[in-house]
Each structure stands twice: as C-alpha cells, then as structure tokens.
C-alpha cells in the first residue's frame, strides 16, 4: 500500500502520522508536543491540508523552546499533511530563532497565521515541498537519506527517470516561462539540467541558462524568457541534483525525442532507435554487405534525428546526416555525436523539389557538394566510386486523403502530411502510399538515387498491405535480408506490431513477392523467423465474395448494435439491397484491423466498408466473419493478410462457421421496435435468430424466422450442436427474466425477437439481481473454436 493511498483513507491527524511513520519506516520515535520526534528529524503533522509555512512556524516554536532548555536539536525539520510534505535543514532556521524583532507567543497553541506571514520571507527559500501524489518516492528517499547520512541527498537525473523529471520540470518551471512553445520545452530543460547553477556542463546547446543577478533566465532563438515565479524553480532544484553524471549526459541529450510532443514526434519521426536494435542492424548490414561495408559505402541518413542510428559507425568521413530540425543538429554538436560526419539541416520531402517534381539542389543550396558528387559518381558507376547506402528510420505519420479533408482531430492523421512538395509533384502513380511519410521518403530515394542500397526501419505494410499494391508496382527492389523487432523495443510507440529493418538493392528492380526475416523480441533477442508474402489483390479474402448492389429503399444507418448514426460527413448505410437481412462489416484485410472492424448488424453501417448479407452469400459471410475474428492478433502477425481458400470448403466447416458467427460477441444483430433517426422512427428487425418462439419461451411471434428456417436444412457437427444447446438455454433464461427499466432502455428490449448481443449484454448487466451461468456456454464455444482454428491455416486463409 502506498503513502498516497493511506493518506486518502486518513480520517484523523493520528492517521496521518501513522501513514508517514509506516511509509518512511521509522523505528525509534516518540510522539510528544512535537508530533513525531526522532534524533535526526522532528515532524509537525496536520490532519487537513495546511500551508507549509504555517506548519513550520509551529514546529519552530517547539525548536525554540527546546533550544532554550538546552535539549538536543535535530538537523532536520519536516511538516506533513494529507497532501504534501516539506523538509528544511534546521541550520537554516536558527538565525530566525535569534531574531529579536519576532514576537513569539507563550504556547504552541497560540501560534497563528499572522506569525507565519512574518516568518514566510525568511524560511520559504529554505524549504523543499513534495506533493505526495507525484513526489512520494522522492520524498521518502530524501527523508531516509537525511536520517542515514545526516544530510539531504538530492535525486540524480538518469536515463531511467528522464521523462518523469522532465514532466515535473514543465509543471514547476516550464509553465512559468511565458510564450514558450511546447516543442521548445525540451531544449530549455536541457539548458537547465546541463548546468550546475554557475556554469554550463555542456557547451553550445541551442538554449542557454543565464543569470540576472541571482535570478535565472533562459535564452533561445534570440528570445529571453524570464520566470514569472521563482518558487517552483527553487523547489525543483532542491529535489534534484544537477548536472547529471557525466556518463549519462550524452545519452540524455540523445533522448530529446522522448520529450517532444507526440504529434511532432510522429510527423518528424523523432523516435529513438534503441542501441541494442542498432547493434542488430549493423550485424545485419555486415552479413549482407560484407564485413568492410563501412569503408566501402557512403552512408546518408536523411532523417537522422539526434544521430543514434549512426553512433555505431566507425568511419564518420563516409557518413552524411541530415534532419528537418536544426535543434537536432545543435544537440548533436553540443554532445559531440558522430564527430567527423557531415551533418546538415535538410527537409528531405520539401527542399530542392521544383514545380515539375524534379530535384534541383540549387534551389536550397543546402546539399553538401561532396554528397552531390558522391550521388553523381554512384549513379554514373564511376570507377573507384563508393556505393551509396541509405540508412534511415523515417517518420510513420500518415494522412487519410491527399488533402486530409476528413481530419477533424478524431484520428492520428497529420494535417499536411500528403502535401509535401515531393508527394504533390512526384507520386501520382503511388496510390495511397503518397499519404504516408515513410513511403514518401522511399519514393524520393528511388528517384534521386535509384542505384542505392536502402536499409530502412518501418512498418511492414509497404511489403504486403492491400492498400500498397500500386506502390509495389512502382517501387521494386531486390530484397537482401533483414529482421522484424517488437515495437515495444522502441519507447512510447503505441500498440504492438512488428517494426522491420529491411535491406534492399534498388539497382535491381524485382517485384516484392515473399521475404523471410529474423524475428527479434522487445529485448532484440532472436526468437525465430517470419515470412511475409505479397499476394495480388484478386487473391485476398476481401475480394472473394460478390458484393450485392444497393437499391433505392431507405435504410437506417447504424454506428452500433442499437445506436443510429450521428455523423453527417461521408454518411453510408442509408440504402438497402434486394433480399438483404443485414450488414457485414469487414474493413481492411489484415489481422490488425479485422479484430475490431468485423461485425454483423441488422441494418446498414454508417461508415460502409462492408456489404449487405442475403441468403446467397450468408455462408461466405459466416466463413469470412469466423476467419477474421477467430485468430487473435499478436505483435508479429498483425500485418498478415487474409487469403481466399486454397481448397473446397466442406459443408461442416461452413455450418460450424455459421454457428460460431451467430454466437460471437461481434454479432450485433438486434431487434428494436423503433429507433429515432433523421426525424423519423425506424424499426430494426433481427433476421439472425436461430431459434423458433416455442424453443426459447418467447411470448409473442418473431418478425422474421429466416435464420431458424435456414439452419433447419443444415447438418450440424457435435461441437456446433453443443453451442446451439447452450445458446438456447441462455435465450430461454433471458425470456424468463423481468429486467429493470435501465437495462430495458440501455439495450432496447421492447421486442421478443431480440438478438444475441441484446441477450448477452442484458443478462450480464442483470447479474446483481439474477445469476446466469455462462461457463457451460463458454466451454462449448471454446471447443468449437479449437476445432476451427487449425482449419483456418489448413484451408489457406492465413499463411501457416
């Protein structure tokens, strides 16, 4: 149990004392007029939040009295309440006790706020305040060190606590600097921590910490920033030690990426490549290109960030590094990163692109002449010229359309991503890949240095995604080798997916058909191999069924099982289809999307990306639904593409899939008397109920008997029959209940032919009133799943 949680439960001042005693681990102590008294430290406690100066004033009264009596005075004083604690060295308070202008009362109970106001200017600069909800560990560590070492030991800034320290710096110091942008906080933070209070420990950083008398001021980009208040600054540096140990300084500066705002990191690609992963990349390059590749190749990293992808290189005269952000260059120079390399500011997707999409280095005059010559020599295959290796970890930001018009802040897309000069002028034949920053990099490299070796980190979708088929027709290269590594090896990447480090020879254009990679876990340890296959779109599962056309009959567009659409932009699902019984949503064709975008509904879906279900395609829908949802996505298979079956499907497999589909949690089919949408009431009819009224005890007739009639003609396997039996029992149990108004309203239970989604949700919501046994159903459903899973691979729906 933490100190914070104990304080939340504290009801009295004694509870507060006991919570702190427990958290600090005090052994030898007493409770007297001084609330908690040890040889090393005295505590004043309050049961409610109280200003620290008020508590210190009362504690100093007892110190003054004890001193007059000749008692031993502790080296430290501490005040505590339910929210915070503060500590002060007693020596800093002694001059106050001798101040004759201060009128001390005759008893501690007479100490009041007026005396505290008088003492405040004298003691506020000497006290260190810890808010327990954010500084609990720091406070406990400080108190324990004060007791054991006889002095306050400030917390060191290390790679392990960098982000935590930075966040606290922003709250206590950064926000006191008026006019500073979020992206500049990191530079000002480094200027502050890489300083001992008198001089800079690291020279030539982009931002400077200066002093106006004793007042700190910051200087960045020609602008001086002053602190609105010094209180937070003093308190922060009373907690932390600066500068960081010399062994950490360079690494901390390299981790500027972790301190940038998330949207800027995604747009600029500011994601630090872990050194363990860099090691593996260099091992792979040596295996593919030969042991002496660093002497034989010119290396260009045109999105180098702070250069950690090049720190393992042993011959910097062959290395060119460019980045969009001048601050990255300033940090590298200050930290002496890759000394000897040619480092320059360059916006690779916008600089030197003319209106015709041609590359003209004279437009910016940023490109070093030596690199221009190296590119020209490599292109001309000049005798003795070094080959060119592009080594990059490009940004992953993406746009949803060429003008990003659909971006309303509801997704991760970046305004302007697709508007880079290069994408606008030179990627007309690349399809959706023109919306992705990392493929924009690959495309310009392909145009600028078509004979280069490209060794790039990136997501795997450019290798096998359905959406990148047009890209692969244009961008072709010979695969030389590579690995995939768990995304969790990289700090702060959301989700779990493979990041590939793939090496390509672009001088040998070959269609991407199949690549085999090593697989590394989040610790960059080898755990196996993985094959990624590029399949033509007409062999993908998404192109398997014939999609029925819509008609002119109005339909209710849904956004959930019983929720009507609320969007007005690009609204779909407003028209029916002949003979339709519902909608099958099946967006995307890989495991990453299938788990959350596969569902059945009783009407059209507001965002489309699926098709209507009828009696002719129902078996295909059931197969696709099962295949897309039954295999759980992992970090490694997340980009695996679903394929059409490679052999005939048995009737048993089809009927097993139908039963599995009908009782899956993503079967959102439902029955509702009326749903209000667009100024009218719309009925919702459930055509997916596999039972007749008498079988489940329904009191009135169903609007549709489609599914019960359809299934009466099927021969079910033992596993499917078991699921049907348990499903029937739950439907029967549902029709025996009397639900409260909240459950009835939430799940719209006004009709007898409710769907599986409504039955399951209502029974679970009612568990506080009526127990329902789901276990036997879950066991039967799991057995059917265990039967179907191997067949997904045997029938070729996914690569084995």
| pLDDT tens by residue, 53-85 | 999 999 999 998 888 777 888 899 999 999 999
Chain centre distance of CA 784: 35
Least confident of 190-194, 285-289, 531-535, 713-717: 531-535
Q: What angle do CA 403, 304, 501 make, to 5 degrees?
A: 85
Residues of the chain with pLDDT > 70, as a percent, come to 96
Evaluate if residue 122 carries a pLDDT over 80.
yes
Q: What angle do CA 783, 785, 788 make, to 5 degrees?
A: 115
According to DSSP, residue 155 is labeled: B
Burial class (CB in 10 A: 0-12, 13-18, 19+), 680: exposed
- Type and span of the H or E element at 426: helix 421-426
Evaluate if residue 410 carries a pLDDT over 60.
no
pLDDT score at 414: 47
CA dist 564 and 676 (Å) reads 8
CA dist 111 and 105 (Å) reads 6
For tokens 């006889």, name the residue.
150
Q: Give Cβ neighbours of residue 379 (< 8 Å, ≥ 6 apart).
A: 449, 450, 451
Q: Are 569 and 406 in contact (CB under 8 A)?
A: yes
Taking the CA of residue 416 as centre, how many other CA atoms within 13 Å lie in the half-sphere pointing to its CB? 9
Q: Mean pLDDT across the chain, nearest whole number?
A: 90
- Type and span of the H or E element at 78: strand 76-80
Q: Are 488 and 522 in contact (CB under 8 A)?
A: yes
pLDDT score at 411: 40
Secondary structure of 444-492 as H, E, C letters: HHHHHCCCCEEEEEECCHHHHCHHHHHHHHHCCCEEEEEEEEEHHHCCC
According to DSSP, residue 502 is labeled: E
For tokens 């309303």, name the residue.
408
Name the band, by pLDDT with cuts 50, 70 and 90, for residue 593.
confident
Strand partners, 225: 218
What is the full DSSP assignment across 169-218? HHHHTGGGBTT--GGGHHHHHHHHHTB-SSSBSSTT-SSEEEEETTEEEE
Strand partners, 353: 359
Token output for 298: 């010119």
Evaluate if residue 360 carries a pLDDT over 60.
yes
CA dist 531 and 515 (Å) reads 6
| pLDDT higher at 669 or 410 | 669
Q: Are 90 and 123 in contact (CB under 8 A)?
A: no
- The pLDDT tens digits for 123-136 are 888 888 999 988 89
- Nearest partner of 278 among 392, 380, 196, 164, judged by Cα: 392
pLDDT score at 265: 54
pLDDT score at 331: 87
Q: Are 671 and 753 in contact (CB under 8 A)?
A: yes
Taking the CA of residue 284 as centre, how many other CA atoms within 13 Å lie in the half-sphere pointing to its CB? 29
Name the band, by pLDDT with cuts 50, 70 and 90, for residue 639.
confident
Mean pLDDT of 530-559: 93
According to DSSP, residue 564 is labeled: B
| pLDDT higher at 217 or 466 | 217
What is the maximum alpha-carbon separation in the chain? 103
Name the band, by pLDDT with cuts 50, 70 and 90, for residue 723.
very high
Q: Are 33 and 27 in contact (CB under 8 A)?
A: no
Q: Give Cβ neighbours of residue 32 (< 8 Å, ≥ 6 apart).
A: none
**129-163: buried (b, 16+ CB within 10 Å) or exposed (e) per residue?**
bbbbeebbebbbebbeebbeeeebebbebeeeebe
Q: Are 155 and 164 in contact (CB under 8 A)?
A: no
CA dist 620 and 630 (Å) reads 15
Q: Order of strands, edge to edge, in the sheet holding 41-45?
A: 36-37, 41-45, 76-80, 84-89, 128-131
pLDDT score at 401: 37
What is the full DSSP assignment across 202-269? STT-SSEEEEETTEEEEEETTEEEEBS-SHHHHHHHHHB-SSPPHHHHHHHHHGGGGGS-HHHHHHHT
CA dist 602 and 612 (Å) reads 10
Burial class (CB in 10 A: 0-12, 13-18, 19+), 764: exposed
Q: Are 555 and 575 in contact (CB under 8 A)?
A: yes
CA dist 293 and 342 (Å) reads 18
pLDDT score at 263: 60
Burial class (CB in 10 A: 0-12, 13-18, 19+), 644: middle
| pLDDT higher at 241 or 474 | 474
CA dist 289 and 504 (Å) reads 11
pLDDT score at 720: 98
Name the band, by pLDDT with cuts 50, 70 and 90, for residue 267.
low
Three-state DSSP class for residue 403: coil
Token output for 144: 């324990």
- Total-model pTM: 0.72
pLDDT score at 110: 81
Mean pLDDT of 473-479: 96
The torsion of the CA quartet 424, 427, 428, 434, rounded to 10 degrees, works out to: -80
CA dist 770 and 340 (Å) reads 74
- Type and span of the H or E element at 673: strand 672-677
């Amino acid at each position: 149990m933490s100190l914070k949680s104990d304080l939340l439960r504290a009801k009295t001042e004694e509870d507060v004392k006991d919570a702190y005693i427990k958290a600090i681990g005090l052994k030898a102590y007493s409770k007297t007029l001084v609330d908690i008294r040890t040889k090393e430290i005295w505590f004043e406690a309050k049961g409610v939040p109280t200003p620290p100066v008020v508590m210190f004033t009362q504690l100093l009264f007892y110190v003054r009295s004890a001193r007059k009596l000749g008692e031993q005075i502790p080296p430290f004083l501490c005040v505590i309440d339910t929210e915070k604690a503060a500590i002060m060295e007693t020596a800093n308070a002694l001059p106050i006790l001798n101040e004759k202008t201060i009128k001390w009362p005759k008893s501690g109970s007479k100490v009041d706020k007026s005396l505290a106001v008088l003492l405040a200017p004298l003691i506020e600069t000497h006290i260190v305040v810890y808010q327990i909800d954010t500084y609990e560990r720091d406070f406990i560590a400080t108190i324990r060190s004060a007791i054991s070492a006889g002095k306050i030991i400030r917390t060191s800034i290390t790679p392990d606590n960098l982000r935590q320290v930075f966040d606290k710096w922003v709250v206590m110091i950064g926000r006191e600097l008026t006019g500073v942008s979020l992206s500049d906080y990191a530079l000002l933070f480094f200027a502050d921590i890489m300083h001992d209070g008198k001089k800079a420990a690291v020279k030539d950083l982009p931002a400077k910490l200066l002093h106006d008398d004793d007042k700190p001021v910051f200087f960045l980009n020609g602008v001086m920033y002053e602190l609105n208040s010094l209180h937070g600054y003093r308190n922060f540096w009373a907690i932390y030690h600066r500068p960081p140990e010399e062994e950490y300084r360079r690494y901390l500066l390299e981790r500027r990426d972790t301190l940038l705002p998330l949207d800027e990191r995604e747009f600029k690609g500011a994601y630090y490549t872990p050194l363990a992963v860099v090691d593996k990349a260099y091992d792979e390059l040596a295996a593919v290109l030969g042991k002496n590749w660093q002497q034989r190749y010119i290396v260009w990293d045109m999105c180098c960030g702070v250069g950690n992808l090049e720190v393992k290189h042993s011959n910097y005269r062959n290395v060119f590094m460019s980045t969009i952000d001048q601050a990255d260059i300033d940090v590298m120079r200050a930290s002496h990163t890759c000394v000897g390399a040619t480092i320059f500011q360059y916006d690779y997707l916008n600089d030197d692109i003319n209106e015709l999409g041609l590359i003209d280095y004279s437009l910016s005059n940023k490109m070093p002449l030596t690199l221009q010559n190296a590119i020209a020599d490599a292109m001309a295959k000049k005798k003795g010229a070094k080959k060119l290796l592009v080594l990059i970890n490009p940004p992953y930001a993406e746009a949803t359309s060429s003008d990003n018009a659909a971006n309303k802040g509801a997704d991760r897309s970046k305004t302007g991503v697709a508007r880079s000069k290069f994408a606008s002028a030179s990627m007309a034949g690349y399809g959706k890949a023109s919306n992705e920053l990392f493929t924009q990099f690959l495309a310009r490299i392909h145009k600028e240095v078509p004979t280069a070796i490209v060794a790039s980190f990136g997501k795997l979708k450019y290798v096998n995604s359905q959406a990148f088929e047009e890209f692969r027709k244009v961008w072709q290269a010979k695969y030389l080798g590579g690995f995939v590594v768990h995304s969790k090896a990289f700090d702060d990447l959301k989700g779990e997916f493979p990041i590939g480090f793939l090496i390509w020879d672009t001088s040998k254009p070959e269609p991407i058909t199949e690549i085999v990679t090593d697989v590394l876990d989040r610790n960059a340890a080898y755990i196996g191999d993985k094959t990624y296959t590029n399949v033509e779109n007409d062999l993908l599962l998404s192109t398997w069924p014939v999609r029925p056309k819509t008609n002119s009959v109005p339909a209710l567009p849904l956004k959930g099982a019983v929720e009507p659409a609320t969007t007005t932009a690009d609204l779909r699902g407003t028209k029916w289809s002949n003979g339709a019984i519902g909608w099958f949503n099946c967006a995307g064709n890989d495991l990453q999307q299938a788990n959350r975008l596969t569902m059945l509904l009783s009407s059209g879906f507001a965002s489309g990306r699926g098709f209507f279900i009828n009696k002719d395609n129902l078996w295909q829908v059931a197969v696709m639904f099962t295949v897309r949802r039954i295999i759980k996505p992992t970090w490694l298979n997340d980009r695996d593409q679903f394929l059409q079956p490679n052999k005939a499907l048995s009737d048993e497999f089809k009927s097993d899939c139908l039963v599995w589909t009908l009782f899956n949690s993503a079967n959102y089919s439902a029955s509702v008397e009326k749903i209000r949408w667009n100024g009218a009431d719309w009925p919702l009819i459930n055509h997916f109920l596999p039972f007749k009224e008498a079988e489940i005890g329904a009191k009135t007739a169903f609007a549709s008997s489609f599914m019960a009639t359809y299934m009466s003609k099927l021969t079910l396997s033992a596993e499917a029959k078991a699921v049907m039996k348990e499903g029937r029992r739950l439907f029967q149990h549902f029709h025996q209940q009397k639900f409260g108004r909240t459950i009835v309203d939430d799940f719209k239970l006004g009709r007898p032919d409710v769907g599986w989604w409504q039955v399951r949700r209502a029974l679970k919501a009612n568990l506080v009133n009526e127990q329902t046994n789901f276990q036997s159903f879950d066991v039967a459903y799991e057995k059917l799943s265990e039967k179907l899973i191997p067949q997904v691979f045997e029938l070729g729906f996914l690569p084995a």
